Chain A
C-alpha cells in the first residue's frame, strides 16, 4: 500500500490557504448578515396587482388625497384598501368601457371583492397602528416612500424591527406638522431641526421602545 504524499508544489499554496482560511469565516458572516437582512429578503416587494391601478395617476397627477380612498387611516390601526364602490364613484362614467377596468366592473356587478395583493405585511406577532403615527406628524412618505410617483406600489422600507426602532429612538428626524402628513412631495428636512424639536415638545411625542408597544 503506497502512502499518499502531498506533492511538493502544495507547499507554495500554504500561505494562500491560511489567508483564505482567515477570510472565509468573515466572508460567510458578512454574507449572511447582508443577504439574510430584511433589506434583502423583503426589500422592494412589488407584486403584480389584479387591476393595473396607478397611484402616480390618481394620487399624483389627479391629486387625490390619500384619505379619499384610505379613509380609515386617521382613525384606525388598519389603513383600509378602498372597496370597489370607491373606484366606481368615478369609473361608472370615466373610462367606463376600459378593458383595464374589467375586474372592477365585474366586482361591482357580483359583489365579490377585488383580490388586491398585500404589499406591506408585518409578522402576525407584531402590532402596528396607523392612527398613532399619522395624527402625530409621521408622514406616509417616511414609511411608504413616494407612493404618489409609483405606477405599481412597492415596499420602500424593510419594515423590520430595527427600522421601527431607528425611528422610535430618533423621532426628531422624521416628524412634521400633522397637517402636512399627506403632502408627500415635501421632504421632512424642509423643516429645520429646531422646528422639529419644537413639534416633539408641543405634541409631547415619546415613541417608546418597550417590547409591549409592538408585541402585545
Chain B
C-alpha cells in the first residue's frame, strides 16, 4: 500500500469543508432579515413597462404614476348639489337626520360602530370619553418633566359626551368628521361619505346611551 501524500489529503479535507459553506450561507439568508433581497436570477417578466398602483414614474415632476385629481374635480357618483349628503346642511341648517338615501337601522349603526372604532377610538376612546391610547400618550408627552418631548403640543381629544358636543345635530358631526375642527384633522379623504354618516349616526346613539335618563335614550331606542 502506498501512502497518499499529505498535501492531497489536506486539499480533500479543505474541499469538503468548503462544500459546507454554501448551504450555511443559504441557511443564514433564510433566517435573517436583510435589505439586499430579493435576488432575481431569472427575470422572466418580473419587470414590465407598466405602472401599478402607487408606483413611481420619473416622467412627472412629483414622481407619482397615479395622478392626483385636478382641483375641483367631482368623482363619479358624487355631486355637490345634494348639500344634505355632502355637507350635512339642509336649508342652511345642520341636518338632523341621515340623508334620504340611507336608512337608520341596525346595519348602519353597526357599520358606524366598526368605523368609529377604526378611525376615532384612537383618540376619543371606544366609548367616546376622550381616553384613547393616542390621546393618553400625547398627554404624557406634553406633561413630561423636562418639557414637552420634541415640541409636542396637544389639545385633549374632546369627550363626545360634553355639554357642548352632546346636543350637536348629526349634520354638524358629519361636518366635523369631514373637515376636522380646530386641532382635529379632517377624515374626509380617509372615510367614504356613507361611512361618515354611519359614524355620525353611531356617535349620536353613543351619546344618547351615555346620557341615561334623558329623553334621548328613547330616541336611540327608536333608532334601533
Chain A positions near chain B (C-beta within 8 angstroms): 7-9, 11-13, 16, 27, 31, 34-36, 38-48, 61-65, 67-68, 71, 76-78, 80-81, 83, 85-86, 88-90, 92-98, 111-113, 115, 121, 123-125, 152, 154
Contact = CB atoms under 8 A, between A and B. Distances in A.
A41 B38 contact: yes
B81 to A, nearest CB: 25
A43 B32 CA distance: 8
Contacts of A16: 12
A67 B118 contact: yes
Interface in B104-132: 117-119, 122
B69 interface: no
Contact of A41 (B41, B137, B149): B41
Interface residues of B, number: 59
A39 B44 CA distance: 18
Given A9-B4, A35-B22, A113-B62, A124 B46 contact: yes
B54 interface: yes
B189 interface: yes
A154 B33 contact: yes
B89 to A, nearest CB: 24
Q: Which of A68, A94, A97 has the most CB of B within 10 A?
A: A94
A63 B141 CA distance: 17
Interface string B1-40: 1111100100010000001001101100111111101111
Contacts, number: 144
A93 B37 contact: no
Contacts of A78: 52-54
A67 B117 CA distance: 10
Contact of B122 (A34, A68, A76, A115): A68
B23 A46 contact: no
B19 to A, nearest CB: 7
Interface of B is mostly: loop
Nearest to B55: A118
Contacts of A46: 33-35
Contacts of A112: 62-63
B190 A124 contact: no
Given A71-B191, A93-B154, 16 more contacts: A44-B31, A44-B33, A44-B34, A68-B122, A68-B190, A88-B185, A89-B187, A90-B134, A92-B185, A93-B153, A96-B152, A97-B150, A112-B62, A123-B45, A124-B52, A125-B44
Interface in B122-169: 122, 133-134, 137-138, 141, 149-155
A90 B123 CA distance: 10
A111 B4 contact: no
A119 to B, nearest CB: 10
B33 A45 contact: yes
